Chains A and B, each alone.
Chain A
Amino acid sequence: MEKRFITQASINRWLTKIVNDGKHLYAPVKKGDRVDFGRATSADDIVFDHIQTTQSAKSVAFPRTDVLFSYEKEKGKVQLENADLTAYPETVVFGLHPCDAAGFNPLGAIFNWDYKDEIYNARLQRTVVVTLACTKADEYCFCTSVNGGPGNTAGSDIQLTPVKDGFLAEILTEKGEALMKADEAAFEADRGDVKEEFLVKLPEKFDVKAVQEKLQTAFESPIWKAQSQRCIGCGACAYVCPTCACFDIQEDAHGTKGKRLRCWDSCGFALFTLHTSGHNPRQTQAQRWRQRLLHKFSYMPDRLSVRGCTGCGRCSRACPVDMNLSEHLSSI
């Protein structure tokens, strides 16, 4: 790993170079009174001082609607055409916080559990992740409680930390190094800034190991019903989550030809587990809420050795009825 220093002006120059090289740049941009990821038209559009974007950055590798393959039936024969993995754009996702970058690890674990998902892998392979370490947090943030942190470098190719008069740049991977080389002159020598001094201090809100331990025997606990009473069963929490990977398969059919699509889905929906017979193994919102928590904090650690939560707090910010995840976890 290499450390460098870069000024705001040089970042803008570097990003302009990247864009001019034909790469797609996604970064936090203003959308109304919110900040969310969007395709940045220039470095000036990028917001640097946001606490959290509305959505996570997962869609660079797992978009909300993705074509798996297309088909055409002609004279009794079916022609199949797989999604063109080479057609995905070279992408730079810039300015995401460490909790978002950390999300690619659990996502990748799910998409490579037994079947290797070529589409997810190809998209991620063409993506360079440049994170912005956090100098502030709000009451929803809890990365430090789930083994993350405001300066966590997991999943990042380059991490920038705002320091005095510029940014400390940590070049973490070969991909990151290649991206730096797009305009290496923009990066000055390291000034010896101590990263930790600039990071926000975020106390732990709960002991995740203890939570995981409790969840082992909590399946029949009345707490799920109590916690989920106000849940109205929408999918907002899952859709903004950087690690939620559930999807639905849909068919965009037009007569003899069509496309098969993968679209986001959520375990909070009653329809999610509804069988054709009419039976629904998760009939109540309490069961669905239990599934959401157990999946993230018990099943995934058990089966995939990763946790399905990076502490970004988006689910709690997005929830129309304030289902605050860290509060609920603390109260188990």
Chain B
Amino acid sequence: MEELRKKAAELLQSGEVQMVIGYEEGTRHPRPCFISSADDAAKLIYDDRCTGNLAVYLTHKELIGGQKIAITASYFALRSILRLLTEHQIQLDKLVVLTVSAEKEVIQFATTDDITAYLQTAPVPAREDDKALIEKLNAMSPAERWEFWSAELSKCFKCYACRAACPMCYCTKCIVEENRPQWIQPWASTLANIEWHINRAMHMTGRCADCGACGAACPLGLPIHLLSHQIVQEVTDNFALDVNQAVSGDNALSTFKPEDKENFIR
């Protein structure tokens, strides 16, 4: 922790960056904080509880402006950063990417290859609850899965916290706000909610970092991150794309291979 604070203070003091995005202690859990002065660096913390994906702030123009930013990125935030670079939403020369390894060592990444290399060797943070629920769902019949999801998603009241918490949901106009045609009914009700969540997940194809921020943000605790997780699974299984290879790898839906799976097509 001390090392991270020192690093942040140095970056700010030397003027290399104008703002550090990190975590501070919150009411119950760590929360995002934004530090512009070396004196405040002591607020910074970083530990296993820091799971929120801070990459979401990198596309907030009113927050970032033209500033050069340092970010203390969690494992999944690193994946998001790679993806945002691929999609030309952020620039690496305006960014200092930091992380704290499992050995409590502060790492500053110089290139995207370094990030990929780190992601491939560092342990993927485990999410045991999700694993159990996914196994349970996969063991169900399709009818039971429909029961599960229509009951869960019927509760959604469309506050769009899932969208707001997602680093990849940076569109200035979201599909749900599109009303010519009105693809998705904007009110909250079972099917309208299902349609929204299908859209959200589909739009994540090949882009999702599988960080679970959408599910963690849901005030009702709906396991909606499992939908985007399923998409990640499908992309990996069917197109052999690696989420950690975002920069050099292919985009899942804007590329294709002639030999792609088609055993379901007559």
A54 to B221, CA, bound (A): 9
Residues of A within 8 A of B200 (CB): none
Q: Tell which of B29-37, B109-117, B224-232 binds the partner.
A: B29-37
Q: Total number of A-B contacts with CB less than 8 angstroms?
A: 99
Q: Check if B219 sits within 8 Å of A236, measured CB to CB.
A: yes
Q: Contacts A65-B189, A248-B186 known; A320 to B157 CB distance under 8 Å?
A: no
Q: Check if B185 sits within 8 Å of A320, measured CB to CB.
A: no
> B45 CB to closest chain A CB, in angstroms?
13
Residues of A within 8 A of B186 (CB): 248, 250, 263
Classify chain B: how many residues form its interface, as a range: 35 or more
A87 at the interface (CB under 8 A from B): no
A55, A140, A319, A320 pick with most chain B CB within 10 angstroms:
A320
Residues of B within 8 A of A232 (CB): 56, 161, 164-165, 217
| Cβ-defined partner of A234 (8 Å) among B31, B155, B161, B216 | B161
Q: Check if B27 sits within 8 Å of A327, measured CB to CB.
A: yes
A82 at the interface (CB under 8 A from B): no
> A97 CB to closest chain B CB, in angstroms?
18
A266 at the interface (CB under 8 A from B): yes
> A36 CB to closest chain B CB, in angstroms?
7
B159 at the interface (CB under 8 A from A): yes
A129 to B233, CA, bound (A): 48
A189-229 vs B: 1/0 string, CB under 8 Å? 00000000000000000000000000000000000000001
Residues of A within 8 A of B52 (CB): 320-321
A271 at the interface (CB under 8 A from B): yes
Residues of A within 8 A of B216 (CB): 320
| Cβ-defined partner of A34 (8 Å) among B27, B185, B221 | B221
Q: Check if B56 sits within 8 Å of A263, measured CB to CB.
A: no
B63 at the interface (CB under 8 A from A): yes
A230-245 vs B: 1/0 string, CB under 8 Å? 1011111011100000
Q: Check if B159 sits within 8 Å of A54, measured CB to CB.
A: no
A318 at the interface (CB under 8 A from B): yes
Residues of B within 8 A of A319 (CB): 219
Residues of B within 8 A of A234 (CB): 159-161, 163-165, 217
A107-144 vs B: 1/0 string, CB under 8 Å? 00000000000000000000000000000000110000
Question: Nearest CB to that of A270 among chain B residues?
Answer: B172
B103 at the interface (CB under 8 A from A): no
> B168 CB to closest chain A CB, in angstroms?
13
B259 at the interface (CB under 8 A from A): no
A264 at the interface (CB under 8 A from B): yes
Q: Check if B217 sits within 8 Å of A324, measured CB to CB.
A: no
Residues of B within 8 A of A317 (CB): 219
Residues of B within 8 A of A324 (CB): 26-27
Residues of A within 8 A of B161 (CB): 232, 234-236, 318, 320
Q: Check if B33 sits within 8 Å of A230, measured CB to CB.
A: yes
B177-214 vs A: 1/0 string, CB under 8 Å? 10000000111110000000000000000000000010
A285 at the interface (CB under 8 A from B): yes
B237 at the interface (CB under 8 A from A): no
| B interface with A by C-beta (< 8 Å) | 26-29, 31-34, 52, 56-57, 60, 62-63, 155, 157-161, 163-165, 177, 185-189, 213, 216-217, 219-221
8 extra interchain contacts, Cβ-Cβ under 8 A, other than A234-B163, A239-B219, A320-B165? A250-B187, A264-B157, A264-B158, A269-B160, A285-B60, A320-B161, A320-B216, A321-B32
Ordered nearest first, which 10 A-B pairs have the shortest CB separation? A320-B217, A318-B219, A234-B164, A234-B161, A322-B31, A235-B159, A322-B26, A232-B164, A236-B219, A263-B187
| A interface with B by C-beta (< 8 Å) | 31-34, 36, 54-55, 64-65, 139-140, 229-230, 232-236, 238-240, 248, 250, 252, 261, 263-264, 266, 269, 271, 284-286, 316-322, 324, 327
